[in-house]
Chain A
Amino acid sequence: MSAAAPALRPTSRLLRTWYAVKGRSYPRTMGGLREPSWIFYDIALPLLGVAAFVYVYRALGAPAHFTGYVIMGGATIAFWLNVMWLMAAQFYWEKHQGNLELYMMAPCGLAAILLGMAFGGLLATTLRAAVVIAAGVFLFNMDFTVSSWPLFLLLFALGLVALYGLGMFFSSLFLLWGREAWHTVNLLQEPVYLVSGFYFPVRALGPWVGMAASVIPITLALDGLRQVMFPGVHTALIPLGWEVAGLAALAVLFTLLALWMLRFMERLAKQEGRLSFRW
């Protein structure tokens, strides 16, 4: 009964993946433009938290680069929140909205759609992080010197790939956990602010805690970026070269894990009817 199926040419597969990425990233970017409330929630409110830490450090007479630590942490929060709420928990919401089934049966595949979500989220969040840093520079005279722009961009790019790979991995996992997704996001929010050193050098937690926390890509990315932005004064967790290698490994690991998890989730969903029915 089955037919010989001609394989899709790699070029057309790539092109269709690009179309899907473009298509799914569109609502993410347009959402930001059409609902400008993010300016208040994603920039003004986080800046208040940043301001509190800046004034604590100033009151204690901490060195000037601690202000930079805090502002970098504040900017990075936007990425972590984006990955948790708009990547990890997204399939869960898509399922309840009725989109997930349509995504699953689209020929582009779920991975391309997830990539679109990541790409759209990444563009919007990078803009938000840049505004937070600009506001920090303007309001608190944040002083930094980038020792190497190529290294800075490499760390940033690797950090993003690893982080969004983790988000893609979580998206399948959260879908399988069902209603616990909401709690899981909350559970991972504040503790990660602490163990990844959002407002202080992660080395302060001790090398072993810092190393354990490095499984979250943001830990190594933030520490690496601080080494490049505050050369000579930042207390690094590990040498920069190791951080680059670690981030590259995490990027590969999480991307592969995400793809494997997607396939596993889809198979399980089709076998057990988890996406379609509740018995």
Chain B
Amino acid sequence: MSTYAIETQNLVRTFRARKSRQHPSGSPIVALDGVNLQIAPGELFGLLGPNGAGKTTLIKILVTLLLPTSGRAAVDGYDVGTQAQQVRERISMVSGGEHSGYGLLTVREQLWMFAQFYGVPTAEAHARIDRLLAIVGLYEERHRKVQELSTGMRQKMNLVRGLVSEPQILFLDEPTVGLDVEAGRDVRAYVKTWMGERTGRTILLTTHYMSEAEELCDRVAIIHKGKIIAADTPAGLKRAAQSGSYFVLSTERLDGGAEFLSGIPGVARVDASARDGHTEFHVTLADDGAIAGVVAALAQRGRRILQLQKVEPTLEEAFVALVGRRFEEADEARGP
């Protein structure tokens, strides 16, 4: 039996396509192109990629809504194609912007209905629902009709729906998309709490938001054009994308440019600019140790260093380094 919560082996999924202006050849569209993933129990794993990268296709396969064209996928050791029932007993999914359920029902009734589909007895379902609603701040709205909820409230309710069956593995497909800042923060906060409450639970989160992946995920995979191009911890991805160390130094005003720093061993690039009576240096070094030479050179010129900061690259920069273009550009390249 696989020790992974989620495992895919050379997973491929293609879709038949009609000839169109956007797709003149009419050849099959490759949504997933040999995806290999191993996610351990207890991990909060992020899948980061632009629109059309294959994130949703991968989730739909893992939650047994789609069959792979080739390759294999298993959830909690069960094959998603041949053991769909076993997989379904262990999972749940919440998608961003979903409008599931029935507007005429109250929040509590709607959640009870979904709990019934997972075989949760009524008394237990109500207890879980009330507890979860209190945690996400919706308890006071429990007798309100679903059709009267705001987008943020609705998404919190959807999150409770996904959790009420106490899944072993939870799939969150862009869960904060379209939410205001506060609602998004609440959702993220509870996702972290939920993971912390019991060990061994796993979340696969797809997101558009770099900061969300960085804040929540133990590991992140970057998916682009149906391929996983990197998978590591957020820090590991950033490190891998970085071709050296990056420092920003602020000194007392120093005229004459930055050429005197370029010759120092280990300095790959340096730029200087005047700012508010100070001079700011942006220095790229081959390694952290080279900063000592830079500091010494500035001291020789009799200028006090006012600020020295090592700047870590962001996931966005890691994405650019790996994909070759910015996130939004990758979205735009795919078109509507």
Same complex origin of A and B: yes
Q: Tell yes or no: B98 within 8 A of A by CB.
A: yes
Q: Which residues of A contact B292 (CB under 8 A)?
A: none
Closest chain A residue to B90, Cβ basis: A107
Which residues of chain B (100-126) have a CB below 8 Å from chain A? 100-102, 104-105, 109, 112-121
What string of 1s and 0s marks CB contacts (under 8 Å) between B56-88 and chain A?
110010011111000010101111001101101
Interface segment, A8-16, A62-70, A77-85, A250-258? Answer: A8-16
B101 near A99: Cβ-Cβ < 8 Å? yes
Binds A, one of B1-9, B186-194, B248-256: B1-9
A182 at the interface (CB under 8 A from B): no
Cβ–Cβ < 8 Å partners of A104 in chain B: 64-65
Interface pair B66/A3, CB less than 8 Å apart: no
A137 to B106 Cα, complex, angstroms? 38
Measured in the bound complex, the distance between the Cα atoms of B77 and A259 in whole Å is 28
Stretch at the interface among A27-35, A151-159, A160-168, A213-221: A27-35
Contact B67 A271 (CB under 8 A): yes
- Is B135 part of the contact surface with A, judged by Cβ < 8 Å? no
B15 touches A279 (CB 8 A): yes
User: Is A31 in contact with B82, judged by CB distance below 8 angstroms?
Assistant: no
**A113, closest chain B residue (CB):** B117
For residue A276, CB closer than 8 A to chain B, the reply is yes
A2-B77, A5-B86 known; A276 vs B66 contact (CB < 8 Å): yes
In the complex, which residues of chain A have a beta carbon less than 8 angstroms from the beta carbon of B7?
1
Contact A275 B16 (CB under 8 A): no
**Given known A-B contacts A1-B9, A23-B113, A276 and B88 have beta carbons under 8 A apart:** no
Q: Is A97 an interface residue (CB 8 A)?
A: yes
Interface size on A, residues (CB 8 A): 43
Determine if B332 is an interface residue (Cβ-Cβ < 8 Å).
no
- A23-B114, A272-B16, A273-B66 known; A5 vs B119 contact (CB < 8 Å): no
A3 pairs with B77, CB closer than 8 A: yes
Q: Which of B2, B9, B56, B118 contacts A107 (CB 8 A)?
A: B118
Q: Which residues of B contact A275 (CB under 8 A)?
A: 65
Q: Decide yes or no: A2 and B88 within 8 Å by CB, A23-B113, A30-B105, A276-B65 being known contacts.
A: no
Bound complex: CA of A1 vs CA of B7, how far in Å?
A: 8
Bound complex: CA of A30 vs CA of B2, how far in Å? 45
- Evaluate contact between A2 and B82: CB separation under 8 angstroms: yes
If A16-B119, A108-B117, A273-B66 touch, does A8 touch B104 (CB 8 Å cutoff)? Answer: no
A98 touches B72 (CB 8 A): no
B91 contacts A105, CB within 8 Å?
Answer: yes
**A5-B86, A105-B91, A273-B66 in contact; A27/B117 too (CB < 8 A)?**
no
Inter-chain contact A35/B116, CB cutoff 8 Å: no
* Cross-chain contact of B64 among A8, A30, A99, A270 (Cβ < 8 A): A270
Which of B18, B56, B117 touches A106 (beta carbons < 8 Å)?
Answer: B117
Please state if B119 and A276 are interface contacts (CB–CB under 8 Å).
Answer: no
Mask of B1-25 contacts with A, CB within 8 angstroms, 1/0: 1100001010000011110000000
> How far is it, in angstroms, between the C-alpha of A2 and the C-alpha of B76 when the chains are bound?
9
Is A143 an interface residue when CB atoms closer than 8 A count as contact? no
Q: A2-B77, A3-B2 are in contact. Are A98 and B99 (CB under 8 A)?
A: yes
**Of residues 13 to 43 in A, which have CB atoms within 8 Å of B's CB atoms?**
15-16, 19-20, 22-24, 26-27, 30-31, 34-35
**Minimum Cβ distance to chain A for residue B111 (Å):** 11
Say whether A4 contacts B113, CB under 8 Å: no
Residue A180 is within 8 A (CB to CB) of chain B in the complex: no
Query: From residue A5, how far is it (CB to closest CB) to chain B in Å?
Result: 4
Tell me how far the C-beta of B156 lies from the nearest C-beta in chain A, rounded to whole angstroms: 17
The verdict on B299 contacting chain A, using a C-beta distance below 8 Å, is: no
Q: A1-B79, A108-B119 are in contact. Are A26 and B88 (CB under 8 A)?
A: no
Residues of A within 8 A of B82 (CB): 2
* B63–A108 touching, CB < 8 Å: no
Check: A194 CB closer than 8 A to any chain B CB. no
Judge whether B89 is part of the interface by a CB distance below 8 angstroms. Answer: yes
Which B residues lie within 8 Å of A113 (CB)?
117
Question: Does A188 make an interface contact (CB < 8 A)?
Answer: no
Q: How far is the CB of A96 from chain B (nearest CB, A)?
A: 10
Give residues of chain B (158-182) contacting chain A, Cβ–Cβ below 8 Å: none
Which A-B residue pairs are the 9 nearest by beta carbons? A23-B116, A3-B77, A16-B119, A106-B117, A2-B79, A5-B86, A107-B88, A3-B1, A19-B116
12 extra interface residue pairs, beta carbon distance < 8 Å, beyond A19-B117, A98-B95, A277-B15: A1-B77, A2-B78, A3-B1, A3-B83, A5-B86, A8-B85, A12-B119, A27-B104, A27-B109, A107-B88, A275-B65, A279-B29
